[in-house]
Amino acid sequence: MKLMLLFLSAAIVNNFVLSYFLGICPFVGVSKRVSSALSMGLAVTFVMTISATVTWLIYNLILVPYNVEILEYVAFILVIASLVQLVEMFIRKVSKPLYDTMGIYLPLITTNCAILGLALFAVLREYSFIESLVFGIGAGVGFTLALVIMAGIREELELSPVPKHFQGAGITMIVAGSLALAFMGFAGLIAN
Amino acid sequence: MNASGIDQGVVTKVEGHLAYVELESGDACESCGARNLCVPLSGGTRSIVAANPENARVGDRVTVEEQGQPVLTLSALQYGLPLLGFFIGILFVYGGLIRIPFLAPELGMFLSGLIGLGGGGVLAWWGIKRLSRRPGRFFTVRLLR
């Protein structure tokens, strides 16, 4: 039950994009079409889940025993960047069409502060290994959810008469703000 | 099967019924401050092999369309299967179905997860290889008029 609540909390109540405003760059950049939003969401969920577990191991089995917790930022950034590079290399090797269409978005994952935020939150809240795993999956699902909702709205917006001065980034920010307001309705439903 | 435009680009080579299209930079990069450091943009170009039913010629500007949802299918295979394997691997040790001696329980779970991840990766590789047998199957070019 606790793990289920943790999952729901990370995915909906404390959504990384719409509650913490982390990972806004891909949220705005890759939300023009629902299919690319879903693909990006899958990629981010994958990296988030793996990095949540790897950073847990590094923090608890290396940094804490050797009393060098101060290096957590450096260690986490290195882990996340290496992980994304590995994923990119694997995709380039295995799936050329996917790399050609998604490759351009992959560096966005490396510079996605939501992933570093996830690792830091997991440490701060002293999650166990399994809790970190569930937190990672929940945060990834929440990220995908936010991205897909946004993409759905933007696809509709393409057919709507948006006033000239609001077109492009302007209307995107207004929609993002409205979505964040809507997600505020979940605030406090589950504590962290 | 529905088709949707993913990007625009210029035809650089035509080979039989296939066109090689050099894509323009994606919308994700337009406002990115790090785009000069970013490998996909600074390191060269992205090119896609696509079916060429409209007989586009070298130099023509075209829209590349997806046939169905290939990127989504490939993403689901590429990320979904290994992730599922990783999750199942961890659950096997967490649920006590497998015991790994001489290791901290978390390391055991991670190791088992990695094995699952590898298994999922192999399945994904096999699935993608099957899907990618025919070049030009995923994308089609349409001339921009």
Closest Cα of chain A to B75: distance in Å? 5
Test A43 with B70 for CB contact under 8 angstroms.
no
Tell me the per-residue pLDDT of B72-118, one tens digit each, with 9 for 90 and over: 888 888 888 999 999 999 998 888 877 777 788 888 899 999 999 99
The CATH number assigned to the domain holding B52 equals: 2.40.50
pLDDT at B68: 72
In the block, residue with structure tokens 């809790």: A131
Residues B108 and B126 in one domain: yes
Residues B56 and B87 in one domain: no
Least CB-CB distance to B76: which of A33, A42, A105? A42
Q: Number of folded domains in chain B?
A: 2
Q: State pTM to two decimals.
A: 0.82
Residues B25 and B58 in one domain: yes
Closest Cα of chain B to A44: distance in Å? 9
Residues B41 and B85 in one domain: no
Residues B56 and B29 in one domain: yes
Tell me the per-residue pLDDT of A44-53, one tens digit each, with 9 for 90 and over: 899 889 999 9
Residues B17 and B64 in one domain: yes
DSSP state, residue B25? P
Residue B136 in contact with residue B51, Cβ under 8 Å? yes
Tell me the per-residue pLDDT of A157-186, one tens digit each, with 9 for 90 and over: 888 888 888 887 788 889 889 999 998 888
Q: Give the mean pLDDT of chain A.
A: 85
Q: Alpha carbon of B42 to those of A97, B11, B34, B35, B83: distances in Å?
A: 20, 20, 10, 7, 31
Least CB-CB distance to A36: which of B71, B105, B106? B71
pLDDT higher at A109 or A54:
A54
Domain hosting residue B17, numbered range:
6-68+134-143
- Chain B residues touching A45 at Cβ < 8 A: 79, 83
Residues B57 and B78 in one domain: no
Q: Partners of B63 in the beta sheet?
A: B8, B142
Residues B48 and B85 in one domain: no
The number of C-alpha atoms within 13 Å of B108 and in the hemisphere containing its C-beta is 15
Q: CA–CA separation, A9 vs B73, rounded Å?
A: 28
Q: CA–CA separation, B92 vs B114, rounded Å?
A: 12
Residues B57 and B100 in one domain: no
Q: CA–CA separation, B6 vs A118, rounded Å?
A: 31
Domain boundaries, chain A: 34-184
Q: Which two tokens stand for residue A40?
A: 């990006």
**B1 within some domain:** no
The secondary structure of A26-70, three-state, reads HHHHCCCCHHHHHHHHHHHHHHHHHHHHHHHHHHHHHHCCCCCHH
